[in-house]
Amino acid sequence: MKVLVFGEVVDGTIQNITYELVACAKKLGEYLTLVTSDADVSSIDGRVIKVNAGETNPWHYKIVEKVIERENPDLILFGNTSSSVDIASQLSAKLPVATSVYEVSAENGEVIVKSLSYGGKIIVELKLTTPAIAVVNVGSYNAEDGKGTASVEEIEIDELGVRDGIEFLGYIKPEEEDVDISKAEVVVSVGRGIGDETNIEMAEELAELLGGVVAGSRPIIDQGWLPKTRQVGRSGKTVTGKLYLALGISGATEHVEGVKAKNVIAVNTDKTAPIFRVSRLGIVADVNELLPTLVDKIREIKEG
Amino acid sequence: MKICAILRLVPDLVEEIEVEENEIIPFRYMPNERDEHAVEEAIILKEKTGAEVEVIGIADSENEADLDEGLGMAAAKGADKLYKVVLDRPTYKRCEIAKALADFLSDKNYDLILTGIQAIDSYAGNLGGILARYMDLPYIGGVVEVNVSNGNTIVKKELGGGLLAEYKLPLPAVVSVVSAERPLKFVPFTKLRQAMKKANIEEVELELPEIEGVEVLKYEVPPEPEITLIEGDVEEVADKLIEALKELSIL
Amino acid sequence: MLETYFERINEIPNSDKFIQCIQCGTCGGSCPYGMGTLFTPRRMILAVRAGIVDEVLQSGAQWLCTSCFTCSLRCPSQIPITDAVIPALRELSLLEGNPPEELAAALMNITRYGNSFRESPRKRDRWIKEVDFEVPLISKKKKAEYLFITECFGAYHRRCKEITKAFAKLMDLLGTDYAILGNEERCIGDLVRLCGEFGLFEDLAEKNIRVFEKYEFSKIVTHDAHAYNALLREYPRFGFKKEVVHHTQFLYNNLEKLKEMFGKLDYTVTYHDSCYVGRRNGIYEEPRAVIKAIPGVKFVEMKRIKENALCCGGGGGGVWLDSFIKDHIKERPAESRVKEAASVGADVLVTACTLDVPMFEDALKVTGLEGQLEVKDISEIILEAIENS
């Protein structure tokens, strides 16, 4: 099976999802990656076609169409992310598509996928006739497996004969204090069990190491240890990312209502703390003792 | 200017859905939340520009009554016209709707068609982009703010991690909304009931084509993630936690 | 806008007293949020008289009220501030479409699911599967002396469910002829009414009464102070005429039997008069008598008791206004209240309203009194005394 990966570029940087998709494609057969914006593509494993068509833009679906004509892939993989979905959904007017996919396999020339639908409550297994499109969830495949050395072919946009219909006007970057915890993939959240304010810094360091943000339960916000924008729960925000790491949070109903992350790991001294009821992994420990050790160990791994 | 917003019904996840291998039986349906945001954004545009707003509700014959509340809500907020499109379709896949809807919308002359970015049951395609291609209109999704001026729409699109980008599209266009500029307006019970009573709803039946290429093999309930409780000394539990983070490919 | 306001006010008993406001300021002086608001009830009335309702609504003052009823009780002109002046202002805010988000979500959930928790109405009776005795459903039993109303918090809230279970267990031990509505029960709606969602309240009342009429029972018993209040004072307007008993009264009426079952408890206990048990409905002595009857218990009083008791902050929609209120005041009433309980040497704070328990337990975390003071509903301490025998 021949697989075309749509490489995602945001603000001049190849996004991690691209490597994850390459990792997926590798398991299915022959693969190549198309990148439609200017970025350093050298670490993408395998063949790469690069078309410099400006910043990420929904009209780039026309470029993908041209490359499909040229390469005849059986399957085109997109990340389930804002700018990739714009393109995938327009192409799916012509090609069979499955969205929210977390597992792709090939059988007798047909594509079989598993989609996590209905808010994660039901798995739908689908068979797509080729050529087909799969929109794959972030975190379904290991990005490291998709990294390697690229062999890059550049194509001038004029050669493809497609035109722009939509104008990119510019990025609006978030101010540091406006981190939206509801959109973060990894949230390190602290509760009363954290003890005193100085431990917040350590939680922040942990969050940074994990590529996430720090949030808190209400008592922490009330103390003024974290700004109101970081509050999780009924009177705060709902977190929906990949991991919610609850440190010293007991898990009152009001709090748990805001925890909709795909994976919850909780650390609490109380074995019967209700937070454990919504967790996949529970660690019975004192956060204040665990945090320094954990941060040291992760720092070592990161630097190591 | 004339705007429409699409309002789809999806299974209400608060209620348990019965899952069998070849079908799912939801207990009841509710408006798709992202579509409610599309309706809200249409109302906001009406406030900004005086545009005429039409809301197109989509349901199946067995759940069309569940659509009334959503349409009433739209009317109470200021929608000028409501449609109830009842689908006649052979299977419960989601990709065919765009085709039938494109035909239905083709003679309505909307300057802007708003939809929600996705529906919880749209495992076989997102409506907005497909609709745009069938209608041959420019498209953008992931939008959190829509403005209109001089025959163009300027939208703010979310790119993740708090990053936004601005794009300009010539009208008419199809735009998929993640969330409206403001929280959904609250509609008190009495106002909702009055709006539902007064609402002028045009009912339309649409036959859906069967589109080949996507076949549901089976539905299944994901296994319950079982909680593993770890106790021990700090070193030990820290290692176990790190292992778990690696499994989730966060480390 | 003023027209809508007066139309609503005029539907509420005794609101003709509105014109008798002498602007004395007793209300604002009595209000737990008095110093956090631009518009105390006195100034609200003044603003309505001056036709500047807009300014009140913009200030958000209408949401800074926990319906604790202190102002209404103390008002020399007996103006129904809690039942009319404030809810009618809140209704205007709801009509404008922008109440605080948390509250809007709760009201939407009640409209859609009959509970504020966004839980399936088909799971309302789930708690009966978590107890080791049989809880009778009225749909099966058809006839009972008492219909036990659990209300939303008692049915769904993790902590409040424990109170429901404890009280059901007590009825079971006492051999009471009771039953529950199970999944046929829906929100009774007192908080909905106090939030100014009058249309929804009427709808809930009508639907609930229709369900009540299907079955034969002579009294309603409930541990939910607001359900008690609405069933007692509001539902008769819609044609419901049965006797309503609060669980403190029920326990008091069964005290002789309970005494025979009591073991010893080595606690210093203080009692919090919940607003809609005490101040609004005059039940002060029954719960005290019941607690004092437990052997070994040392009973102490706080300073602010009975009609002067401080509110927990959860009523009148306060449970759904937490972050809004926190933006306007320094210390939540619940925090002040648990400190008061600790200061008189209590190790258990007993209450008689389901809203109180999570409000106070939360306050224990914020004030650092966790471990020093425990919060229990009256039915929980009674059950503990029995289990200790």
What is the Cα–Cα distance from A67 to A51, expressed in whole angstroms? 10
* Domain assignment of residue B249, yes or no: no
Torsion-angle region of B55 (φ positive above 0: left; ψ -120 to 50: alpha; else: beta) = beta
- The answer on pLDDT for B223 being more than 80 is no
Best residue in C359, C366, C370 for a mutation probing chain A (most A CBs within 10 Å): C366
User: Is residue C226 within 8 Å of C153, Cβ to Cβ?
Assistant: no
Q: What confidence score (pLDDT) does residue C374 get? A: 97
| CA A241 from centre of chain | 8
User: Is residue A85 within 8 Å of A133, Cβ to Cβ?
Assistant: no
Question: pLDDT tens digits, residue range A146-198?
Answer: 999 999 999 998 888 887 789 999 999 866 556 788 888 999 999 988 877 77
What is the Cα–Cα distance from C33 to C31, expressed in whole angstroms? 5
Best residue in A228, A229, A254, A268 for a mutation probing chain C (most C CBs within 10 Å): A254
- Say which residue, B110 or A226, is predicted with more confidence: B110
Counting Cβ atoms within 10 Å, is residue B224 exposed (0-12), middle (13-18) or buried (19+)?
exposed
Instruction: Give the SS3 label for residue C67.
Output: coil
Closest Cβ opposite residue C101 in set B15, B183, B187: B183
Q: Does C35 touch chain B (CB under 8 A)?
A: no
Q: What confidence score (pLDDT) does residue A288 get? A: 82
User: Is residue A247 within 8 Å of A256, Cβ to Cβ?
Assistant: no
Distance from CA of B175 to the nearest CA of C (A): 25
Distance from CA of C326 to the nearest CA of B (A): 20
Closest Cβ opposite residue A222 in set C159, C358, C366: C366
Same topology between domain C103-253 and domain C260-387: yes
Average per-residue pLDDT for chain A: 91
Among candidate residues C340, C338, C330, the one with its CA nearest the CA of residue C362: C338
Closest Cβ opposite residue B19 in set A92, A122, A301: A122
C-alpha distances (whole Å) from C271 to each of C311, C352, C353 are 13, 9, 11
In chain A, domain spans: 2-160, 181-303
Chain A residues touching residue B231 (CB < 8 angstroms): 271, 283-285
Given an 8 Å threshold on Cβ–Cβ distance, is B118 in contact with A118?
no
Q: Does B15 touch chain C (CB under 8 A)?
A: yes
Chain B residues touching residue C197 (CB < 8 angstroms): 188-189
H helix intervals, chain A: 16-26, 61-71, 82-91, 157-160, 198-209, 218-222, 253-256, 287-303
In chain C, domain spans: 2-98, 103-253, 260-387
| CA A233 from centre of chain | 22
- Each of the 389 residues of chain C gets a pLDDT tens digit; together they read 889 999 999 999 888 899 999 999 999 999 999 888 889 999 999 999 999 999 999 999 999 999 999 999 999 999 999 999 999 999 999 999 989 888 998 999 999 999 998 899 999 999 999 999 999 999 999 999 999 999 999 999 989 999 999 999 999 999 999 999 999 999 999 999 999 999 999 999 999 999 999 999 999 999 999 999 999 999 999 999 999 999 999 999 999 999 999 999 999 999 999 999 999 999 999 999 999 999 999 999 999 999 999 999 999 899 888 778 878 888 899 999 999 999 999 999 999 999 999 999 989 988 889 889 999 999 999 999 999 98
- Cis peptide before B172, with omega less than 30 degrees from 0? yes
Among candidate residues B82, B63, B85, the one with its CA nearest the CA of residue B72: B82
The superfamily CATH assigns to domain A181-303 is TPP-binding domain (3.40.50.1220)
Given an 8 Å threshold on Cβ–Cβ distance, is B30 in contact with C111?
no
Sequence letter at residue A102 = Y
What is the Cα–Cα distance from B129 to C190, expressed in whole angstroms? 46
* Domain assignment of residue B193, yes or no: yes
Question: pLDDT tens digits, residue range A230-265?
Answer: 989 876 788 988 999 999 998 887 788 788 888 999
Given an 8 Å threshold on Cβ–Cβ distance, is A139 in contact with B249?
yes
Closest Cβ opposite residue B15 in set C91, C107, C120: C120
Closest Cβ opposite residue B164 in set A100, A172, A263: A172
Given an 8 Å threshold on Cβ–Cβ distance, is C158 in contact with A252?
yes
Q: What confidence score (pLDDT) does residue A177 get? A: 59
- Residue-by-residue DSSP string for C288-347: HHHHHTSTTPEEE--SS-GGGPPP-S-TTTGGG-HHHHHTT-SS-HHHHHHHHHHHTT-S
H helix intervals, chain C: 2-9, 26-30, 41-50, 53-59, 70-74, 86-96, 101-113, 138-141, 151-156, 158-174, 190-194, 198-212, 225-229, 247-253, 255-261, 285-292, 322-326, 333-343, 356-367, 378-387
Torsion-angle region of B142 (φ positive above 0: left; ψ -120 to 50: alpha; else: beta) = left
Q: Does C322 touch chain A (CB under 8 A)?
A: yes
For B211, the domain range is 2-217
* Domain assignment of residue B55, yes or no: yes
Among chain B residues, the shortest Cα distance to A85 is held by B141
C-alpha distances (whole Å) from B104 to each of B86, B87, B107 are 12, 12, 7
- Number of Cα atoms under 13 Å in the Cβ half of residue C193: 23
* Domain assignment of residue B95, yes or no: yes
Sequence letter at residue A265 = I
Among chain C residues, the shortest Cα distance to B17 is held by C120
Closest Cβ opposite residue B189 in set C104, C122, C197: C197
User: Is residue A224 within 8 Å of A213, Cβ to Cβ?
Assistant: no
What is the Cα–Cα distance from A288 to C355, expressed in whole angstroms? 32
- The answer on pLDDT for B89 being more than 80 is no
Distance from CA of A105 to the nearest CA of C (A): 37
Instruction: Give the SS3 label for residue C144.
Output: strand
Among candidate residues B43, B48, B4, the one with its CA nearest the CA of residue B187: B43
Residue A42's CB is within 10 A of a number of other CB atoms, namely 12
Q: Does C120 touch chain A (CB under 8 A)?
A: no
How many degrees, rounded to 5, is the angle at CA A66 between CA A65 and CA A68?
A: 65
State the CATH architecture for C2-98.
Orthogonal Bundle (1.10)
Percent above pLDDT 70 for chain A: 98
Question: pLDDT tens digits, residue range B33-64?
Answer: 999 999 999 999 999 999 999 999 999 888 99
The CATH code of domain C103-253 reads 3.40.50.1860
Q: Which residues contact B164 (CB under 8 A, 6 or more apart)?
A: A171, A172, A173, A174, B144, B156, B157, B158
What is the Cα–Cα distance from C209 to C147, expressed in whole angstroms? 13
Chain A touching partners, 3 or more CB pairs below 8 A: B, C
- Say which residue, B225 or A132, is predicted with more confidence: A132
Q: What confidence score (pLDDT) does residue B95 get? A: 67
What is the Cα–Cα distance from A137 to A147, expressed in whole angstroms? 18
Q: Does C197 touch chain B (CB under 8 A)?
A: yes
Q: Does B2 touch chain C (CB under 8 A)?
A: no
We report the CATH number of the domain holding residue B64 as: 3.40.50.620
Q: Does C330 touch chain A (CB under 8 A)?
A: no
Given an 8 Å threshold on Cβ–Cβ distance, is B126 in contact with A127?
no
Q: Does C8 touch chain B (CB under 8 A)?
A: no
Best residue in A8, A57, A64, A86 for a mutation probing chain B (most B CBs within 10 Å): A86
User: Is residue B55 within 8 Å of B113, Cβ to Cβ?
Assistant: no
Q: What confidence score (pLDDT) does residue B249 get? A: 86
Query: What's the CATH number of domain A2-160, 3.40.630.10, 3.40.50.720, 3.40.50.620, 2.30.30.60?
Result: 3.40.50.620
A 187-206 near C (Cβ less than 8 A):
192
What is the Cα–Cα distance from C161 to C170, expressed in whole angstroms? 14
Residue holding tokens 């300014």? C55
Q: Which CATH class is domain C260-387?
A: alpha beta
- A·C CB contacts under 8 A: 34
SS (H, E, C) chain B: CEEEEEEEEEECCCCCCEECCCCEECCCEEECHHHHHHHHHHHHHHHHHCCEEEEEEEEECCCHHHHHHHHHHHHHHCCCEEEEEEEECCCCCCCHHHHHHHHHHCCCCCCEEEEECCCCCCCCCCHHHHHHHHHCCCEEEEEEEEEEECCEEEEEEEEECCEEEEEEEECCEEEEECCCCCCCCCCCHHHHHHHHHHCCEEEEEEECCCCCCEEEEEEECCCCCCCEEECCCHHHHHHHHHHHHHHCCCC
Chain C residues touching residue A223 (CB < 8 angstroms): 366
Chain C residues touching residue A234 (CB < 8 angstroms): 102, 320, 322
Q: What confidence score (pLDDT) does residue C83 get? A: 97
* Domain assignment of residue B68, yes or no: yes
- Say which residue, C368 or A25, is predicted with more confidence: A25
Instruction: Give the SS3 label for residue A27.
Output: coil
Chain C touching partners, 3 or more CB pairs below 8 A: A, B
What is the Cα–Cα distance from A207 to A295, expressed in whole angstroms? 10
Closest Cβ opposite residue B248 in set A170, A171, A263: A263
Closest Cβ opposite residue B167 in set A128, A167, A186: A167
Q: What confidence score (pLDDT) does residue A28 get? A: 97
What interface predicted TM-score (ipTM) does this complex get? Answer: 0.90
Residue holding tokens 């299907």? C214
- The answer on pLDDT for A140 being more than 70 is yes
Q: What confidence score (pLDDT) does residue A148 get? A: 96
Question: pLDDT tens digits, residue range C337-370?
Answer: 999 999 999 999 999 999 999 999 989 988 889 8
What is the Cα–Cα distance from C306 to A251, expressed in whole angstroms? 33
Q: What confidence score (pLDDT) does residue C322 get? A: 79
Q: State the total domains in chain B.
A: 1
Q: What confidence score (pLDDT) does residue B225 get? A: 63
Question: pLDDT tens digits, residue range C11-61?
Answer: 998 888 999 999 999 999 999 998 888 899 999 999 999 999 999 999 999
Given an 8 Å threshold on Cβ–Cβ distance, is A219 in contact with C366?
yes
Percent above pLDDT 90 for chain B: 67
